[in-house]
Amino acid sequence: MTPETKHLEVTLQTQVESVNVAEEMCLRVAEAAGFGEDDCYRIGMSVREGVINAFHYGNQEKPDKKIYLAVHLTADKMIIHVLDEGKGFSLADVPDPLAEENLLSTSGRGIFLMRAFMDEFDVVTGQNGGAEIIMSKKLPGSSESNGQGGQDAQGGQGAGGSGKTPHQEA
């Protein structure tokens, strides 16, 4: 672990309130990292959508399952991992919410919003078989900071996921 890297990990219950807890926690980290109001909003929204995804789709709202949230602050980006205890999913199977036939769907916009709001976004299969969302936003003032969204996440530990469940120590 380099001196510039900070880590925060928390295990959340599969319940609605966990969405608020996760959002609030990540907002505080984002503010402390120097993100402005607009980026904090985008990060907070993305965390909400990631945990909602884990709560509803991954863990099927089953209270005996957990959601693992990890936040890493490197020298140039804030990286967020959300891991559920579900069966995993492929991004290719997620319908396009902007397609005409899906516009009036009552769900299915979370992935789209995370991709829109974060600089990097990806979904991999976690060590436990669940879905692991990995998304990141470049710190303000970093050399690559340009506000563009939707690219595959590289993560602080290389592409393809963390290699361990987020609740383990780095």
Partner 1 sequence: MVDFSGRITLGEGSALLRKTIRALLEEERNLLLLNLGDVDYIDSSGIGELVSAYTAVKNRGGDMKLLNLTKKVRDLLQITKLFTVFEVFTDENGALRSF
Give contact residues for partner 1 (rule: CB under 8 A). Answer: 16-17, 19-20, 41, 45, 48-49, 52, 55, 97-98, 103-107, 109-110, 112-113, 116
Rg of the chain in Å (alpha carbons): 15
Nearer to partner 1, 117 or 156 (CB): 117
Nearer to partner 1, 92 or 103 (CB): 103
Nearer to partner 1, 73 or 114 (CB): 114
- Give φ, ψ of 127 to 5 degrees: -60, -30
- CB of 7: closest distance to partner 1 in angstroms? 26
- CB of 131: closest distance to partner 1 in angstroms? 16
Sheet holding 131-138, edge to edge: 6-13, 66-73, 77-83, 131-138, 120-125
- CB of 16: closest distance to partner 1 in angstroms? 4
Q: What angle do CA 90, 11, 60 make, to 5 degrees?
A: 45
Nearest to 60 by CA among 91, 93, 92, 84: 84
- CB of 71: closest distance to partner 1 in angstroms? 19
What residue ranges in 42-156 does DSSP mark as E strands? Answer: 66-73, 77-83, 120-125, 131-138
- CB of 156: closest distance to partner 1 in angstroms? 26
Nearer to partner 1, 10 or 113 (CB): 113
Nearer to partner 1, 149 or 160 (CB): 149
Q: Are 148 and 118 in contact (CB under 8 A)?
A: no
